């Protein structure tokens, strides 16, 4: 399994995985494929590719705006898979989508086509633990990643149960809110991450709000992966060079702030 191998390799190196998020189709579909390759070349360990959706309930204004633009450009799931099948990024990539577009596409067809397009995992924020078994079973049958989300309100027992059902890694949401750049993260975040990691062998990535190298350094000793989303989408929106940004963030995963 490619995801398991990735986290094992980084753990041996003493590094935390840097996992940038891109909205497929933003600002255009070819642009997003090209950006994925540049981000990978700059040092990203894993790419999260988002599918635009009309009602992205977990996302803040930045990603919502990117989603609207991508939809306006005609970036539906089929076109996204076709476009990313030609992506030259060396970093493994996982797809993030709300469940409605996936159900319309068809679960088994989707998992097969994702693998054909070079993806190795799937994140679906609005499929809870109680409804995930069929997805997880079919993903496991294909040697494919299934990445559940864990909310900070889940509680220790439920968080550990969700993590145990992951294939590849689990995604811990840093805040009780939506995505978006934040100058400060919750004070208890590192404590909660440590408590969860003490109860599971599943790699834990953390996202929502992480936006700069200082935050990455602070989180790195307490998790296995760090997702940076809105900050990168803003950079792409504003025409900011993304290679220096990714290099700075990746370097921060190698220089954690002492616990």
Instruction: Compute CA distances 22 → 19, 48, 109, 143, 232, whole Å.
Output: 10, 6, 23, 24, 7
How far from each other are the two terminal CA atoms of the chain, in whole angstroms?
Answer: 31
Give the active site residue among 15, 59, 76, 192: 59
48 an active-site residue? yes
Give the dihedral of Cα atoms 82, 85, 91, 97; nearest 10 deg: 30
Examine the residue annotation and report whether 108 is marked as an active-site residue of this protein.
no
* Residues contacting residue 116 through CB under 8 Å, at least 6 positions apart: 81, 85
Q: Which residues contact 185 (CB under 8 A, 6 or more apart)?
A: 174, 175, 209, 210, 215, 218, 219
Residue 118 backbone zone (phi > 0: left; psi -120 to 50: alpha; other: beta): left
In the set 15, 45, 48, 73, the catalytic residue is 48
Q: Which residues are catalytic?
A: 48, 59
């Amino acid at each position: 399994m490619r995801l398991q191998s990735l986290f094992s390799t980084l753990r041996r190196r003493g590094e935390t995985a840097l996992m940038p998020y891109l909205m497929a189709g933003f600002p255009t579909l070819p642009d997003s494929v090209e950006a994925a390759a540049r981000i990978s070349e700059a040092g990203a360990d894993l790419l999260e590719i988002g599918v635009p959706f009309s009602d992205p309930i977990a996302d803040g204004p930045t990603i919502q705006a990117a989603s609207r633009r991508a939809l306006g450009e005609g970036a539906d799931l089929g076109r996204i898979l076709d476009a990313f099948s030609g992506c030259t990024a060396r970093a493994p990539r996982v797809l993030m989508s709300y469940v409605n577009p996936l159900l319309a596409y068809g679960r088994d067809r989707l998992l097969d086509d994702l693998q054909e397009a070079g993806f190795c995992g799937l994140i679906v924020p609005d499929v809870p633990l109680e409804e995930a078994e069929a997805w997880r079973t079919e993903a496991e049958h294909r040697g494919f990643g299934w990445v559940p989300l864990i909310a900070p309100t889940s509680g220790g027992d439920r968080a550990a149960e969700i993590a145990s059902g992951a294939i590849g890694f689990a995604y811990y949401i840093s805040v009780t809110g939506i995505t978006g750049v934040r100058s400060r993260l919750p004070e208890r975040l590192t404590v909660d991450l440590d408590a969860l990691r003490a109860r599971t062998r599943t790699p834990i990535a953390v996202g929502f709000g992480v936006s700069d190298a200082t935050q990455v350094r602070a989180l790195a000793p307490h998790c296995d992966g760090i997702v940076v989303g809105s900050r990168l989408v803003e950079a792409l929106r504003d025409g900011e060079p993304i290679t220096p940004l990714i290099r700075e963030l990746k370097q921060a995963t190698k220089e954690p702030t002492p616990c």
